[in-house]
Chain A
Amino acid sequence: MDNLSVDHLIGIEHLTTRDIEIIFQTADRFKEVINRPIKKVPSLRDTTIANVFFENSTRTKLSFELAEKRLSADVVNFSASSSSVTKGETLVDTVNNILSMKVDMVVMRHPNPGAAKFLSERVNAKVINAGDGTHEHPTQALLDAYSIREKLGEVQGKKVVIVGDILHSRVALSNIYALQKLGAEVMVCGPTTLIPKYIHELGVKVEHNLRKALEWCDVANMLRIQLERQDIQYFPSLREYTMLYGLDKKLLDSLSKEIVVMHPGPINRGVEITSDVADSKQSIILNQVENGVAIRMAVIYLLAAKIER
């Protein structure tokens, strides 16, 4: 079997289509593993992984940690709020200190775009990007595409619309790369102020009317409004945003075909998506979470195979 073409998972941009296929094939097997009575395999028993989170996270951190533990890796966790970073230590210093304790792989989330690439060029460990600012969130995009493949059979030829705050979303960018590499058509939809100016250069369609976008698509990926990243007011009020870009059951039922609804979490119920849509049978939000563990196991397993002994 050929392995991944990359040594670190920084972004989907640098992966080949074959890489994504290898990750999916491996994830299929891990999905079976995590549904066994004993959900653990010993592959990574001599590997130590540090989860370094400079930004808050619930799902991603939990998912990575579960994935690592189910591969039998030793795990150390580190979050910036309770560390020496607040005392003025640099990123490379912090991570090199962790690596001196013989860590083989670093899973990092950081508020600055490019932090993962910066780190991968400076430390002697495999780096997995768990989100770098507004740049990329590769494992989320992989699990989203994997969930579409699971639900609809394949990604090739499917139409996917990403709705919401595209400007501040790392999930959107990674999803665009992943879906396009797998042969899907991608559209982004949201208020003009939240759509990056040159996004059409990535080859995606742009639509500002939610109903038109939903009528076009097979899958709708509803993103959260990232208020924590918005330094200015991009739209008059959340209430107005919900009226124009919120997905409710009435709108969903009025469409001419049944579409699949996704959300990378955390959900702001009643803002981008109503409760009855989030919990409807068309929603695969919880499947995404389950697949997240399998995808992360696959990525860690494949990269760990590249660690020199």
Chain B
Amino acid sequence: MVWQIITSLILSLLSMETQVILNAKQFDFTLQRLCRQLIENHDDFSNTVLIGLQPRGISVLNRLKELIEEILDKEIQCGSLDITFHRDDFRRRETPLIPSVTNIDFSLENKKVVLIDDVLYTGRTIRAGLDAMLAYGRPNNVELLAFVDRRFKRHLPIQADYIGKTVDSLVSERVSVEWKEIEGEDKVILYTKENNG
């Protein structure tokens, strides 16, 4: 009886499968490609700013900034934006979210803005980001860069201009972008949870 329970526990743990979508090498290729696409569209970045969405968009931003600055050999303007106070699910969650730091010490008036996030899924974070961004001026135009695009189950009509990797996934699944500076390794993982009924 006890063994049966233990066996079923082990089986249920095994059924929580993970699938690596991008390994470290592919991860680097993807970043390199995104960085070149950005340079292609924004020349020398003289009127362009990159804005990372807190918290996980900042990792994408920092990596891209490093790569672009290496190629262009100049510093590019970047900021971080927290969208906690602009979310549309305040009071619909169990607990309030801890706000992160917003650091935009320049005006976005007439700038070309590239919003950056790690995973684009329902589109609600981006909606809040667009709203939050307006407090810093009226940009000339805004583009969206998503390192991973979970293209199904969008709640809003929002699409990315630059996509690192498109992932087709179920609602019950989870996509996680991991970074060597945080998790120890660069990779994108899909967590699939088998539904045993």
A residues with CB within 8 A of B: 1-3, 25-26, 29, 32-33, 36-38, 40-44, 46, 71, 301-302, 304-305, 307, 309
Contact = CB atoms under 8 A, between A and B. Distances in A.
Contacts of A42: 85-86, 131
Nearest to A40: B135
- Interface majority SS (helix, strand, loop, mixed), chain B: loop
Interface stretch (B19-27, B66-74, B97-105): B97-105
B86 A25 contact: no
Given A3-B96, A42-B86, A305 B91 contact: yes
Interface of B: 82, 84-87, 90-92, 95-102, 107, 131-132, 134-137
A302 B102 CA distance: 19
Given A26-B99, A29-B99, A32-B102, A307 B91 contact: yes
Contacts of A32: 101-102
B134 A38 contact: yes
B42 to A, nearest CB: 24
Nearest to B84: A29
The 10 closest A-B pairs by CB, nearest first: A41-B85, A1-B98, A38-B135, A305-B96, A29-B99, A43-B85, A36-B135, A43-B90, A3-B95, A309-B91
13 contacts: A1-B98, A2-B95, A25-B98, A25-B99, A29-B99, A29-B100, A36-B136, A37-B135, A41-B135, A43-B85, A43-B87, A305-B96, A309-B91
A28 to B, nearest CB: 8
B8 to A, nearest CB: 34
Of B82, B96, B136, most A-chain CB atoms within 10 Å: B96
A294 B96 CA distance: 17
Nearest to A308: B91
A29 B102 contact: yes
Given A3-B95, A33-B102, 4 more contacts: A33-B135, A36-B136, A37-B137, A46-B91
A86 to B, nearest CB: 36
A305 B95 contact: yes
A78 to B, nearest CB: 24
